[in-house]
A and B are shown apart, each in its own frame.
Chain A
Amino acid sequence: MAKQSIEEVLIEFNPKLPRLSVSESKVLKFLVEAAKLISPIYLEQEKQADSGLDRKAIEEAAKKDPTISSPYTVVEKVDGKLTAIPYHVKYAELLKPIAEKLEEAAKITDNKEFGRALKLQAKALLDGTYDQAIAAWLKMEPYILDISIGPLHHFDNQLSFSKSSYHAWVGVIETEGTDRLNNYKTITLSAIRKALVPKERIDPQKIKAKVLNVLVFSGIMARTRFTGINLPIDVSLVEKYGAEVTLFNQPNDLRVKEQILPTFNKIFSKGFKQGFSEEDLSRGYQRCVALHELAHSYLYYRNAVKNLQDLFSSLYELAATILGLRLAGPLLLKDRITNKQLESMIVAYTCRSFYLMERGLGSKFLMNYALGGTVFINFMLESGAIKKFDGLISINFTKTFVSLHELSYILEGLLSQGTRKDAESFIKKYVH
């Protein structure tokens, strides 16, 4: 594989870090080394995805052999028959040195709980006991160092079930941002929010939240450059162990620089642009991501993946963004954020959506988000909340907030009791 390809799936950042102890610095070094070794595995997975196996044949075979639809298997043709090979078997050689690095880190860390989770993670990479590792990480008390490594349940293919992609991130907790995120979390999640269909929704008992200064993104994380994530995605795991929201500072800065600001400069008039500084948009976007990830906590509908199939991810992500923006309303009424900050969130997400509409519909990695962004823009144009004139955009914030409520209601309806057909006809209405 060409060197350039490895670079595409491995991003190193150079954040300003707090003072770490000698042992923490050593542990961090091992974690970064382990994370970097994920990228070749992910590249193998990308090659595998392009192997030309027929999607319908795989879905048909999965009805007889459930391991084919497991998120942790590679499907290959062996003697003319579709066969599932567990990830830990298929990639055993590449995983061994990663597990060793984690073991080394586990030996020298002063934090016993962290060490235990690292050992379980190393074990999971080699024998597929992922749930035990997930449980250990979710039970852990907050700690300054952070790593997530292994197969990530992420919907980046178009099968009716999803295959996990190898990923890794390594970061150091940013205390101030984490405190702010936890403050939002407490305010937002402490109100009892009614479920559209209560028996269908899972209400996780525990949601953890942290903001990281990131040292490395590897595998699918580097491809997608997520700015935030809420894991696990699997509702049955959320029901058992809770979930954790993580925000990433440096990838957020990167997205603002590469997507939000250029789009902002392109689509708004000079007068409108004078109302928002770069700082407003950067913070607005991060706030938007924070509330998006927190909003997922209200959207764990038991059968949504099964019912909406390949359209689940687009609608789930959009529903979280729209509900997240709505959740900013009560924050404003409680004086926790200002009108300007809410406006900055809406402007930043509008920019992201226009960017996705232009660039994402043809991209495998952005497709799910691009569909959502396109629905958002066209829904807002239809309601008159956003207007286009002379190639420029204007936003009526009051109308936007009313439309967010309507859109949020439709999306939650689809997640809670919609069928794939319902989802398809809704998307078709707004994505031409």
Chain B
Amino acid sequence: MQTNIDFLKVENLSKTYIAGSPPVFENVNFDIQQGEFVCIIGHSGCGKTTILNVLAGLEEASSGYAYMLGREIKGPSLERGVVFQGHALMPWMTVLQNINFAVKSKYPDWPKAKITAHSEKYIELVGLGAAKQKRPSELSGGMKQRVGVARAFAIEPKMLLLDEPFGALDALTRGVIQDELLKICASTKQTVFMITHDVDEAILLSDKIMLMSNGPNARIAEIVENTLPKNRERATMHHDPMYYPMRNHLVDFLVHRSKLVQQSSHAPQNQNNVRDITQRLKPRLVRPGKEQMVSNQSTQMN
């Protein structure tokens, strides 16, 4: 059926933490193509971080599979760089040592000078050249998060996983780092999977936004294609005619539909049409502003 291998493919993923209780999420299916920037939005407790951890190989799903380049993800790998929610820098190491540690893990045979040069390149990339000899405790929250980003990029992963990396930052700092991330991703064609709570962040950065319904029994309810042009900028983005349809769609989902989807997905038990159920569980593909809703049929064609 499928001739080309998806860069990343997730099939029927579900996770149950306590046996007997309903799964946090179930029937999670999506794919990510090479070079795509995908954001996932949903309310707390719908299992976003768990999905990311499964992709990172840090957690196991209760059922279902995740494949990267056709191979099942079974454990952590240097092919996937992770930026953690709480920066997770080694507090006793300087910025440079932190990055060096990661680079040495990826390229154990490199001489020290080469490792340092490589690390310094990525430290410069996030604009921390002046702070490379500082320890994390001497850095501001934004700077720490940048070091985390630099560390993930420095190992040159095939895919980057970002767990709400800028959630704890103030709006100004967040904006600056978002711009930097956008720039770096555009130049490296990095494939990114990112969790966020910030609708504007998702619109600015992503090609595709996955919307999750509320947990338990959460699932991906909609996959929204970013209809804004590629060369968007934070400063001018809100003038784009596509911006408000896009933003309203996302906000509407978070405020109203995320709850309704949860209720409808396991309310009627007398459903005897199996095909209908699976159809209903498939995420809707949406292109806000361009055409209201693409039917399920065309989703399958994609």
Q: Do they bind each other?
A: no
